[in-house]
Amino acid sequence: MYNTLIVLTSCLLAAFSNEDQMQNAAFTGMIESIHNDRAIFVIEEGEILSSGDKVSVNLSVNEEDTFAVGDRVVVEYEGAVMESRKSS
């Protein structure tokens, strides 16, 4: 089942190589886990896949849909994406 999640700004675990080329983009992914209003997605398709295989998405920007672990979702976003890594 595909839900569409429009994300105006989101902190993702990946970044595009050129911040000057901010444009609407999308990726398809499966929700791996949900914690409060954030979900970790395993990216299946999309240009952002070249930067990493997982992203964190703020689900609170879409109050119309309900999401669950295992859902396949098309995530549309615009604006800057921010890189984040776990500390060792």
More confident residue, 47 or 82: 47
Q: Does a structural domain hold residue 85?
A: no
Predicted TM-score of the model (pTM):
0.67
The residue among 53, 23, 26, 25 whose CA lies nearest residue 40 is 53
Tell whether 86 is covered by a domain. no
pLDDT at 51: 79
Reported as a pLDDT band with limits 50, 70 and 90, residue 49 is: confident
Tally of domains within the chain: 1
The whole domain housing 28 covers 2-77
pLDDT digits (tens, 9 = 90+) for 11-37: 333 344 444 445 678 999 999 999 999
Does 62 reside within a domain?
yes
* 35, containing H or E segment: strand 25-35
